[in-house]
Structures are given as C-alpha cells and as structure tokens.
C-alpha cells in the first residue's frame, strides 16, 4: 500500500503578507489516481500546487515523492526542477511564451540542452496537434491563438512529457465539451499507465466524470479527503462553502423580451466586420434582453463580440445605438455609447498585473470620466469598497496588486470594473471563467437582475447549461459564420448541437 503513494504533502503552510493561504494542509496522491482538488476561489488550491512545484517556497511542511519505490523527501526550488523530478504542470494562468510558435512552446525547456532539430520538432508538434484535434498550425505564433487553443497547447505540452505526477490547474476553464472529452480520454490513458493526476476545476460534473478522490480545501485549511462515491454533489458543495448552496433551478429564467415589435434596439449592427471577424454579420439586441453567442471552439463567437466593441480594427458595417447611427471605431467610442466588454482572456486583455485592486476596478470608469478629471482617492476607495463587498472579492486590501489575487477573484475585479461603468449594453465573454460554484450562481443572478433593470447583455460561456439558464436568445455560430438563432422553447442542448452540425431544427 505504502509504495502506491506517488506524492505526499504533510503539514504544508504558506503565508503571504496579510493572507494565510495554506495552514497545515495534507495531501496524498496515489498511482493511477485522478484526484480532484476542490475549494472556493481563494481557498488555496493554486498556492498548494505552486508550493509543490517550487514557484513559491513553503513556510513549513514536508513533501515526499516516490522515487524508485520508496518515498523520499524532496525540496523543490524551481518549476524546472519539479519537471525534472517527473512533476508536469499546467498552471492556471497560462505560462507559455506568447511570441514563440506553438512548436517552440511545446519543446522549450524540456530538460536536455542538446541541439534542437527544428524540423523534427515541427513534425512532432504537428502530430500532437493532429492527435488532439487542436485547430492550429505548429508554426503559428502562440498569441495569435484563442485562449482555448493556448490552454490545449499547454496541456499537450505537459502530457507529452514523461511524468509521474500530472497537475492540471483549471485546464478546462475555457474549453468546450468536445475538448474536455479529448482531455479526459488523455487523462484516463495516463491513469491506466500509472500516472497520478491532480485535477483542479470548478465544474462539478467534470469531477464526477473522471475523478477517483476529492480533497477539499476551505480558507487555506484542509476539510478532508473523500472517495468520490462517498461524497454526493450536494455534500461536496457544502463542504467547499461551509454552507448549503441555494437551489440553482430556482433561478427564474427571464422570458424572451417581446417578440419582434417595432421597439428600437439598444444596439444594432448591419454588415459588421473586423480584421479578426471577416464575415460581415448583422446583430441587434433590445433593452433588457440577454442573448448569447454559442458555437464550438474557434467558431468565432469571441471575435464577433470583439467586433461589437471594436476591440479589433473594424473593416466595415453600420452601427445604430438606440436608433441613431453612430461610429464605433475603437473601444473608447463603444464605451462612450455605454457598451462594456469583459474580455475572454483576462491575463492578456483584462488585468493590469502590478496595479492595485482599487486602480483595476476604477480603470474603465476613470477613462470614461476623462484624462483631466481623476477621481480623488476617497472616491476611488468608495467605489472599490462597494464592489469588493458586492462581489465578495477576497483580497488582503484594496491596495493589494491584482496579480496576487486568486484567479477567480481577479475575474471578479474585472467584472466589477465594467459593472461600475453602469453600461446600457454589457458584453460578458466567459464571465464565470474560473469562478467557483457558489459565486457562479451569484453572477448568473446578477446578470438577470441587471437585465431586469433594463441593461442589455450578451453572454458567452463554454458551459451551455449556463447559457440556457440565463439567455433568452442564442446565436449559433460555425466556422466564423452565424448559422442559426434559437429562441425560447427551441433552446435545448440538442437543438444547439443540431444547428451547429448544420441540420434543420
């Protein structure tokens, strides 16, 4: 039994200024086991991983790794060392090099300093991409890929290395079901070869699909380790939150806002196209409506909403706001007309790492107010305070740099930024990415409440359930084109899939 254990962490503690991220946490991983690490945003999951892989030094505690059949204490100083010990990691925030190609990213820093054979490297990378069905070329520069592709590349890289322990920190946060399935079959394959896998996610169904064991953390403390069959979903949630979750099904879905009346839409685009979204499309949204763009990975849903916000260069189209024709050529114009946009990739387009939570929250409103009219410190603090409370953002203080918040809490800060601008039309691209179950419900409620108050919302999520719960109209996309639209009763998972496949509903 003893030498079944691959990795064992004992009494791990880690503090940051003002936060005790981990307190005496134990964690055990066995051979051929997929072990879920669960907890709310800021519970300490990523910190535990980073302590294990040497990103942060631990304050106290011991780590043991199975080397040649017996457990030996290890003291990992750097992620590189961890990798050489057979611990392969996909971090929550993608840590690849954006300006290198996919092939280079896959093979860089892989141990040996031998000369690299670019040709075989490219060929091998192309094979991996092919095998995992990743829609990208090996020679493509990484930052030209969507975040989902980047995530798949990070996974492919980790999986391709020989490892004893594979760590996946929210690898599926922007993947669609198809990609998740591919990842799961990969994980099962590795499991059968005896690799121990640590899997962090906020998607409960995924946990029940692949995992064998669950370890739950709450506020940096260990709640317990459970066999998957002994811990039904409801109990898992209450273990994570320390209280019971409200029934999600009680969420009242908003009725579709009136059928085609002659009401003037809040936003209307005809023939809109941008550099990234070359197929011109028409789109409109009425006051208080919640609609969504759906489609597979790479179907162009994010590119479409980016065009609405003029995030990429606009190449054509007419825009009307409340019936009046306006010009929206850059994000500032869109903001002036009351449009807000929460981007999909928070690291690249959302956060300003080194600035404080306060500055990150007020940024958009400040820009709208104007260059010559900065908010006073007191005003800014009042805003930040209000939204930190409203969204329950876990942070040591409002002056903490945003980069030291947990992933989910960073996401909440960006959401706060746009809520603060009080938009009439809010575009949310994956607003619940990396957000825990409890807060997810809160955000869905918030979206519906905003709609109630007359804000129009476009909602994109790779979780179809979530879209079905919040949206009253779904625009279905395939190959960067709109292929259908579903309303009211027609909106079911099956219908969406049929429409994507190009069959009549």
Partner 1 sequence: MGSLIKKFTRSQLAIPLFALFLLVIFNLIRDPSFFSIDIATNNDGNAVLSGNLISILNGASAIAILSIGMTLITSSCKGQDISVAAMAAIAGSVFVSVLRSNEITIPVLLLAFLFGCVVAVLFSLFNGILVAVFKIQPMIATLILFSAGRSIAYWINGGATPTISSPLITAIGGFIPGIPIPTPIIIMVVFLILISLLLRFTNLGLYTQVVGINEGTAHLNGISPVWIKLIAFIISGVCVATAGCITVCRIGLINHETLLLDAEMDVILSVAIGGNALSGGKFNLYGSVIGAYIIQALTVTLYAMKVPSAAVKAYKAIVIIVIVVFSSPVAKDFVVRMYKKLFKKQAEKEVQAKAA
Residues of the shown chain interacting with partner 1 in the complex, contacts defined by CB under 8 A: 309, 311, 330-332, 335, 341, 343, 348-355, 359, 363-364, 366-368, 370-372, 374, 417
CB-wise, 21 or 482, nearer to partner 1?
21
CB-wise, 409 or 456, nearer to ligand ATP?
409
CB-wise, 143 or 246, nearer to partner 1?
143
Which 179-208 positions form the footprint of ligand ATP (CB under 6 A)?
none
Minimum CB separation of residue 260 from partner 1 in Å reads 33
Give the SS3 label for residue 47: helix
Q: Tell me which stretch binds ligand ATP (CB under 6 A): 139-147, 152-160, 174-182, 398-406.
A: 398-406
Minimum CB separation of residue 372 from partner 1 in Å reads 5
Nearest-angstrom CA–CA distance, 473 and 461: 14
What are the b/e assignments for 448-478, b being 16+ CB within 10 Å?
bebbeeebbbbbbbbbbebbbbbbbbbbbbb
Nearest-angstrom CA–CA distance, 170 and 89: 11
Read off the tokens for 76. 């990992």
Nearest-angstrom CA–CA distance, 240 and 43: 9
CB-wise, 113 or 372, nearer to partner 1?
372
Q: Pick the binder of ligand ATP from 8, 42, 174, 482 (CB under 6 A).
A: 42
Q: Pick the binder of ligand ATP from 404, 446, 481, 495 (CB under 6 A).
A: 404
Q: How far is CA 290 from CA 344, 390, 407, 444, 457, in A?
A: 18, 21, 26, 11, 5
Task: Choose the one of partner 1, Mg ion, ligand ATP, none that binds residue 282, judging by a C-beta under 5 to 8 angstroms depending on kind.
Answer: none
Which 426-445 positions form the footprint of ligand ATP (CB under 6 A)?
434, 436
Cβ-based neighbour number of residue 248 at 10 Å:
14
Q: Pick the binder of ligand ATP from 53, 66, 83, 92 (CB under 6 A).
A: 92
Task: Choose the one of ligand ATP, Mg ion, partner 1, none that binds residue 368, judging by a C-beta under 5 to 8 angstroms depending on kind.
Answer: partner 1
Q: Pick the binder of Mg ion from 28, 66, 88, 92 (CB under 5 A).
A: 92
The HSE-up count of residue 225 (CA atoms within 13 Å, CB side) is 12
Q: Tell me which stretch binds ligand ATP (CB under 6 A): 181-189, 325-333, 401-409, 474-482.
A: 401-409
Does 43 sit near ligand ATP (CB under 6 A)? yes
Pair type for strands 456-460 and 290-295: parallel
Question: Residue 234 phi/psi, 5° resolution?
Answer: -60, -40
Does 472 sit near Mg ion (CB under 5 A)? no
What are the b/e assignments for 348-386, b being 16+ CB within 10 Å?
eebbeeeebbbbbbbbbbbeeeeeeeeeeeeebeebbee
CB-wise, 367 or 390, nearer to partner 1?
367
Question: Residue 143 phi/psi, 5° resolution?
Answer: -75, 0
E strand intervals along 17-162: 19-30, 34-38, 60-67, 70-74, 87-90
Q: Which residues of this chain interact with ligand ATP, rule CB under 6 A?
A: 16, 19, 21, 39, 41-47, 92, 394, 404-409, 434, 436
């Amino acid at each position: 039994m003893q030498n079944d254990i691959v990795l064992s962490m004992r009494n791990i503690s880690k503090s940051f200024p003002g936060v005790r991220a981990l307190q005496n946490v134990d964690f055990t991983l066995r051979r051929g086991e997929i072990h879920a690490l669960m907890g709310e945003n800021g519970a300490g999951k990523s910190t535990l991983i980073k302590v294990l892989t040497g990103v942060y030094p631990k304050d106290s505690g011991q780590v043991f790794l199975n080397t040649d059949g017996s457990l030996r204490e290890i003291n990992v100083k750097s992620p590189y060392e961890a990798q050489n010990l057979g611990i392969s990691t996909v971090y929550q925030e993608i840590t690849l090099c954006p300006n290198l190609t996919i092939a280079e990213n896959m093979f860089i820093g892989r141990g040996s300093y031998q000369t690299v054979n670019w040709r075989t490297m490219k060929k091998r990378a192309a094979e991996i991409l092919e095998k995992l069905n990743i829609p990208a070329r090996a020679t493509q520069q990484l930052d030209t890929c969507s975040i989902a592709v980047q995530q798949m590349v990070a996974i492919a890289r980790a999986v391709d290395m020989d490892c004893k322990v594979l760590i996946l920190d929210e690898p599926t946060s922007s993947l669609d079901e198809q990609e998740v399935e591919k990842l799961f079959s990969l994980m099962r394959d590795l499991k059968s070869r005896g690799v121990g896998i640590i899997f962090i996610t906020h998607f409960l169904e995924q946990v029940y699909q692949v995992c064998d064991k669950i370890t739950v953390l709450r506020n940096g403390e260990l709640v317990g380790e459970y066999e998957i069959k002994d811990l039904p979903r409801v109990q898992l949630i209450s273990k994570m939150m320390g209280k019971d979750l409200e029934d999600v099904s009680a969420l009242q879905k908003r009725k579709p806002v009136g059928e085609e009346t002659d009401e003037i839409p809040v936003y209307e685009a005809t023939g809109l196209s941008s550099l990234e979204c070359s197929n011109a499309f028409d789109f409109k949204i009425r006051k208080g409506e919640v609609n969504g763009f759906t489609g597979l990975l790479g179907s162009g849903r994010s590119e479409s909403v980016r065009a609405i916000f003029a995030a990429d260069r606009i190449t054509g189209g007419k825009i009307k706001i409340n019936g009046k024709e306006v010009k929206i050529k850059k994000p500032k114009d869109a903001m002036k007309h009351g449009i807000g946009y929460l981007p999909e990739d928070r690291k690249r387009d959302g956060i300003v790492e080194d600035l404080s939570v306060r500055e990150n929250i007020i940024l958009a409103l400040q820009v709208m107010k104007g260059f010559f009219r900065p908010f006073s410190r007191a005003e800014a603090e009042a805003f930040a305070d209000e939204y930190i409370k409203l969204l329950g953002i876990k942070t040591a203080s409002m002056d903490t740099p945003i980069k030291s918040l947990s992933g989910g809490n960073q996401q909440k800060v960006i959401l706060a930024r746009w809520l603060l601008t009080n938009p009439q039309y809010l575009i949310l691209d994956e607003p619940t990415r990396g957000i825990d179950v409890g807060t997810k419900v809160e955000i869905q409620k918030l979206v519906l409440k905003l709609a109630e108050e007359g804000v129009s919302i476009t909602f994109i999520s790779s979780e179809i359930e979530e879209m079905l719960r919040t949206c009253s109209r779904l625009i279905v996309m395939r190959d960067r084109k709109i292929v259908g639209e579903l309303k009211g009763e027609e909106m079911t998972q099956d219908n969406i899939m049929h429409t994507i496949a190009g069959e009549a509903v």
